[in-house]
Structure 1
Amino acid sequence: MDAQDIGFLRPSLPDLMARAADELNLAVPGAGAHLRWSNLGVLAAVVAGAAHELHGHLEAIAGAVLPDRATGLLLDRHASWRGISRLPATAASGEVKVVGAEPSSLIPAGSRYVSSAKLLYEVLAPGGLVDAGGEAVVSLEALEPGSQANLPTGATLTLVAPLAGIPAAASVLGGGLAGGTGQEDDEALRARLAAHVQRPPQGGAEHDYVAWAKSVPGVTRAWAAGGRPGVGLVTVRFMMDETYENGLPQAGDVAAVQAVLDAERPLTALPVALSPIPLVIPVSIGGLQPSTPAVRQAVEAELRDLFKYGTALGRRLPISHVREAISRATGESDHVLLEPVGDILPADGEIPILGTLTWPV
């Protein structure tokens, strides 16, 4: 709701100046407040400026009365009134392995590694003791929160400062360095708040499991299915679209969601958190006009948006939506979709993921 919604049109600054001048002329006959250089004309402009600022303040308040248009701290207040808090940014963490170190050497807590992107990670307590085979496994956490610090399995990190008997390189173990997310934005918080208001908690309804999963930082979409794989079980699969390029959660993310589900679940149900099964869809586009790098980048961006926001677990993705996404790209005038050739039909538990994008002539 804003001022216009209740039938009030905010006057412009020139309108307010003219009104103030008219009032002064009525109060002081012959004042000439409309004259360019009159003292009362200057006074009219000052009064109009103050009124204009007040109108702006009131318009902002009117827009934030309901959470559908509230932003920032005002949206936080709407959410906190209903027991919902904005999800904070989180730091990526995981394990790395050091090979070829001197046996019984120590990698102390607080030691720092750096990635190829110049992001810093710190060794967590208790550090790591090199075994007789010259190997050690240590836990790391990124110094700065955010998804940019997530790294895949096999990525290489380098010690910032040399350690006696310890090689400089370390490789990221299975599961990667994961869990780094940005702070929840207004749109995501507003969506969670709307779901809470429109579908209030019911002690274990399907949407409760979705809400519990989305209370974990980084979770953008979630689906719950009761009775799968057996009676009393509830399967909860979820995506982290803003955290990882393909949106698929890592092992640590699944564990984090599982912990929340275990804490919130009713006694009669056993929820199981799982990553969706990826159905990788390669896309091949021929006859792109014009086939320039800029147009190709625009097409790829539209396809990534489609696979991020236009797909759902186990739900058909019409081939027409793929063609539409390509046609929507800025600068595209024509194309021939060579692959896929028909509707994308994921099985139960599967979700379509954009695969390799090729451009045959």
Structure 2
Amino acid sequence: MPYNPPTLAESIQQIEGDISLELGLNAHLPVVCAERAIAFSVGAAKRDLHDQLQWLAKQIVPTAESDDSTIETRAAYEGVPRKLPQKAKGHATFTVSDNAQLPLDSVLTAANGSRYLVTFATLPEDSRIIAAIEAEQAGKVGNLNADDVLTLVSPVPGIHNQATVRTLEGGADIEPIAELLRRLWFRKQYPPMGGALHDYRAWATEVPSVTRAWAYDAWQGGSTVGLTFVCDGNDDLLPSAAKIQEVKDYIYRHSDPATGVEVGRPAGIETVLFTLRIKPVQLAITLTPDTAETRAAVVAQLTELERQFASPGSRILLSQVRTAIGTASGVMDYATPLASDIISQSDELITFEAPQWIE
């Protein structure tokens, strides 16, 4: 049964009643008396004990109400360590003179303020140098698009001050605690089996920035496993070719985070990775009251609905959408023209875009 501690007022009232009973009084204590002061003091101390017990009750089984440290410690014990932030890495092209050399550890900056270090540079060829670069700080803010411009902090003779990004990706923030909790629950519900379908899902989500994955048996005939995944924390949740290769390599062979033993797909099984198509859904919603807070609450509810129920070939019920909007914090009433369930094909993933707010 759930632990429901008494309120401070209830504790004080109970202690006052006990004092009255012990003193043989048939009525309540006088409004002003030493016994009431004692009851308040003891009640406050008792409430502190109940608060501690309530906190302990929430730490026994990791849930969304548990402390972050509790979830992180239990997850590490179960072999699901929290994914640490990763630095973005890639290559950039410099325009140079024939004899120029780009010093290692040269610093470049991007328009968003991110800084990068040169870790390797080729010799000049066709008036160009291709340099390997790495972000100074870990996080997805270090990811840039191809053809973005980087600028040298300190000019180098014979080298143009600006470089063009070829690839710069792989940066990831520390794993949100909610994502870690989901992976912990999955580990407890689906223990490792050395190559079962759920193992492929677990292995994929151990890769930085990968948040959801789906595996299918006999995807292209016997001895094949189909696997697809998304990266919800990125601007584009569909993975890049580099991320797909990273997941494929990880599933082939990697060190188990809990034991350090080499694990991976069983011999004779081929993993076929494929990319989903996005099925965007934009709802037209009228809110009462219509404020920035209620809009944000609705978006959060729809995002959680998507994370829980959207998968390839899935159906999100109309009632689930209505419940998500109607139970958003602060929403008293709403209207939306959506009149049927939302259905995706076997290679589609439902995503809720920013709603169209109707005033």
- TM-score, normalised relative to structure 2: 0.75
SS at match of 2:116: strand
Within 5 Å, which residues of 2 pair with 1:175-214?
176-214=167-205
1:240 aligns with 2:231: yes
> Displacement, 1:214?
0.9
SS at match of 2:228: strand
> Displacement, 1:60?
0.8
Q: Read off the aligned partner of 2:140 and give its amino acid letter.
A: S
- CA distance in 2 between counterparts of 1:355 and 1:51 reads 49
> Displacement, 1:162?
2.1
Give 2:206's aligned residue: 215
User: Aligned pair in 2 of structure 1 residues 37, 115: CA closer, same or farther (>3 Å)?
Assistant: farther
Could you list the per-position Cα deviations for residues 324-358 of structure 1 after superposition, in whole angstroms to 9, with x for gaps in the alignment? 69987979746699xxx997654x54545679999
- CA distance in 1 between counterparts of 2:317 and 2:148 reads 36
Give 2:269's aligned residue: 269
Structure 1 vs Structure 2: percent identity of aligned residues?
24
**Pick aligned residue for 1:59 from 54, 61, 68:** 54
> Displacement, 1:178?
1.9
Within 5 Å, which residues of 2 pair with 1:288-327?
305=303, 311-313=310-312, 315=313
User: Aligned pair in 2 of structure 1 residues 87, 279: CA closer, same or farther (>3 Å)?
Assistant: closer
1:73 aligns with 2:69: yes
Would you say the 8 A contact 1:93–1:139 is kept in 2? Answer: yes
Could you list the per-position Cα deviations for residues 138-196 of structure 1 after superposition, in whole angstroms to 9, with x for gaps in the alignment? 222222222233222222222223222222222221xx422222222232222212222
User: Aligned pair in 2 of structure 1 residues 57, 343: CA closer, same or farther (>3 Å)?
Assistant: closer
1:113 aligns with 2:108: yes
User: Aligned pair in 2 of structure 1 residues 231, 300: CA closer, same or farther (>3 Å)?
Assistant: same
Would you say the 8 A contact 2:92–2:130 is kept in 1? Answer: yes
> Displacement, 1:71?
3.2
Within 5 Å, which residues of 2 pair with 1:155-194?
155-173=148-166, 176-194=167-185
User: Aligned pair in 2 of structure 1 residues 275, 101: CA closer, same or farther (>3 Å)?
Assistant: farther
Would you say the 8 A contact 1:18–1:34 is kept in 2? Answer: no
349-358 or 177-186, which deviates more: 349-358
Give 1:145's aligned residue: 138
Give 2:244's aligned residue: 254
Unaligned segments of structure 2, at least 5 residues: 254-263
> Displacement, 1:245?
1.9
Unaligned segments of structure 1, at least 5 residues: 5-9
**Pick aligned residue for 1:101 from 80, 86, 96:** 96
- CA distance in 2 between counterparts of 1:230 and 1:112 reads 50
Would you say the 8 A contact 2:99–2:158 is kept in 1? Answer: no
> Displacement, 1:14?
2.4
User: Aligned pair in 2 of structure 1 residues 132, 93: CA closer, same or farther (>3 Å)?
Assistant: closer
Q: Read off the aligned partner of 1:70 and give its amino acid letter.
A: S
User: Aligned pair in 2 of structure 1 residues 325, 159: CA closer, same or farther (>3 Å)?
Assistant: farther
> Displacement, 1:95?
1.8
Would you say the 8 A contact 1:276–1:350 is kept in 2? Answer: no
- CA distance in 2 between counterparts of 1:92 and 1:237 reads 23
**Pick aligned residue for 2:121 from 124, 128, 131:** 128
1:88 aligns with 2:84: yes
For these two proteins, the number of residue pairs brought into alignment is 336
User: Aligned pair in 2 of structure 1 residues 342, 97: CA closer, same or farther (>3 Å)?
Assistant: farther
- CA distance in 1 between counterparts of 2:281 and 2:14 reads 65
> Displacement, 1:12?
1.5
- CA distance in 1 between counterparts of 2:40 and 2:301 reads 53
Give 1:7's aligned residue: none
- TM-score, normalised relative to structure 1: 0.75
Would you say the 8 A contact 1:327–1:334 is kept in 2? Answer: no
Q: Read off the aligned partner of 1:311 and give its amino acid letter.
A: A
User: Aligned pair in 2 of structure 1 residues 342, 211: CA closer, same or farther (>3 Å)?
Assistant: closer
- CA distance in 2 between counterparts of 1:209 and 1:29 reads 70
User: Aligned pair in 2 of structure 1 residues 166, 47: CA closer, same or farther (>3 Å)?
Assistant: farther
- CA distance in 2 between counterparts of 1:151 and 1:309 reads 30
Would you say the 8 A contact 2:281–2:352 is kept in 1? Answer: yes
Instruction: Give the root-mean-square deviation of aligned CA atoms.
Output: 4.2
SS at match of 2:210: coil
